[in-house]
Structures are given as C-alpha cells and as structure tokens.
Amino acid sequence: MKQKLTLILSSWAALLLLSGLFSNTAHAQSDQRTKDYNNNGWYMYIGDHKVSDKWSIHTEVQFRRYNIIKDPQQLLIRPGINYDLSPTAMITLGYAFIETHPYGDYPAAGIFPEHRPYQQLQLKGNLGRVGLTHRYRLEQRWIKPANATDYTYLNRARYMLKATLPLAGPTLEEREPFLAVYDEVMIGFGENVRKNIFDQNRLYAALGYKISNTATLELGYLNQIVQKASGDVFEHNHTLQVTLFHNMNFARQE
C-alpha cells in the first residue's frame, strides 16, 4: 500500500512539475504573456466495445463548443483498436480527425483540419477505494492552417492520471454516484515545434453516475491552459464537460 501511495503521489508531482517547468520556460522566453479567457462546452461520447476476449473497438465523438454551446469550436472523431495485455493494461492504435473553427480573442484565420494517428497505453488499478487510470499517448499530427497550402507535421506526448472515488460504498455499483478528477499534460516535440513545447494542461473535476454496468455519465469542469504556437498567447479555457461512457460487449459468450 505504501509503495502504491508513493507511486501515485510521485505521478501527480511529476505532472505538476512538468506543467510548471514548461509553462515557466515559455514565460521566460517572452517579455509579455497575453491571456485569452474563453468559456467552452465539450459534449462527448466515449466507448470501448469488445469483439473478442482480447480485442475491442474504441469509438469517440466530441462536439466542442465556444460560448458553452452557442458557437462551434471543434469536432473530434477518434476511433481505434484496443488490445488487452492483461486485465489492467490495454494498448490502442487509432486515428483522430479534428476540425477546428476560429474562436476567442486570437482566432485562427479560418476553419482548418487535423489528421492525427495515435498510440496509447492505459493502466488501471486501485488504491483502497480509489480507482486509478494512467494514460500514456503519442500523437503524430498533420495540421493544415487555413492560410497554408500544405500540412505541417508535429509530434505530441500526453500523460493523464485520473482518480475516481465511489460515494455510496467501497466499490462503484449500478445507480451509484462517484467523484472523478484528472490532470493531463501535453508536450510537443520535433523539428516543427515552435515556442509551445509546453502545449497544454487540463485539470478536471466531475460528479459522475453509474447508470448501468455498461454506461456512466460525468458532468464536470475542465480548466484548460493552451499555449499558442507563437509562445506569447495563453488560452485559459473554462469548460463545461459532459461525457457519456458506454462500453458494449459483442464478443461471443461461452
């Protein structure tokens, strides 16, 4: 138990250190930091659907809106193929399509697309009553700005640590509420990265409800800090996040 607690505390400390280190480095490179405050709403469906004992299909759609729900911000579609290494470890190979619209006080020149293959490792465990998820993701990003004639290639690494706490008992059962928190840091790397090596940080807290053994709903607040490619503009996005998780089992039952 002490070893698990030490590992979790070390992971949170590493997240905070990375976030602070890259944010402060970016700040030191610029004499003045411009802040852009936005109010967004992200409405999401996420599912992992088993097709055999080891294999499953990841499905994900996110409708991201500016001004909570009034204006478009992003459309994200992210399918993938999962393979269970063990009951607590899963790898995923997938692809995401993102369409981003101009928003905020420092908008893009127009609507632009992004094509994003990704590779992911997800580890799950428990610390007493608390459920823990570690997610490690690598992304290869092809982005075509609205005023560009060709795509720009970028790399990004992401790490997320999420904790869930049942509120009605020692374990989370059907028709019971829970609390969820996570922090995710994103780091850009490679020759085309400009001044935003620290890409963004996401800090999240939510109230959840387990609808059934296959479905859960989370309603939460996401504080997102995004450093623009110029390195001078930082978005501070206050985001309502609504997520439906729905995992179906299409595998043949023995």
Per CATH, domain 2-30+37-246 is 2.40.160 = yes
pLDDT of residue 20: 53
Of 208, 184, 44, the C-alpha closest to 122 is 184
CB atoms within 10 A of CB 210: 20
pLDDT tens digits in sequence order for the chain, 254 residues long: 555 555 555 555 555 555 555 545 444 444 468 999 999 999 999 999 999 999 999 999 999 999 999 999 999 999 999 999 999 999 999 999 999 999 999 999 999 999 999 999 999 999 999 999 999 999 999 999 988 899 999 999 999 999 999 999 899 999 999 999 999 999 999 888 888 789 999 999 999 999 999 999 999 999 999 998 888 899 999 999 999 999 999 987 65
At a CB cut-off of 8 Å and minimum separation 6, what does 76 contact? 60, 61, 62, 64, 96, 97, 98
- Quick one: pLDDT at residue 206? 98
Q: How far apart are alpha carbons 20 and 13 in whole angstroms?
A: 10
- Token pair 């590493």 in the structure block, residue: 14
Give the residue from 211, 139, 137, 153 showing the smallest Cα distance to 178: 211
Q: CA–CA distance from 232 to each of 29, 32, 54, 122, 226 (Å)?
A: 9, 7, 46, 33, 11
- 102/88 Cα distance (integer angstroms): 40
pTM: 0.88
- From 4, 211, 34, select the one nearest 106 (Cα to Cα): 34
**Per-residue confidence (pLDDT) for residue 70, from 0 to 100:** 97
State the pairing for strand pair 152-166/112-127: unpaired
Q: Where are the domains of the chain?
A: 2-30+37-246
194 C-beta neighbours (distance < 10 Å), count: 13
CB 222 within 8 A of CB 206: no
For the purposes of burial, counting CB atoms within 10 Å of the CB of 188, is it exposed (0-12), middle (13-18) or buried (19 or more)?
A: buried
**Token duo for residue 200:** 């963004």
For residue 65 the two structure tokens come to 């809106």
DSSP for 226-240, please give it.
Answer: EE-TTSSEEEEEEEE
DSSP code string of 27-82: HHH-S--EEEEEEEEEEEEEEEEESSSSEEEEEEEEEEEETTTTEEEEEEE--EEE
Alpha carbon 234 to its chain centroid, in Å, reads 18
Residue with tokens 């075509």: 144
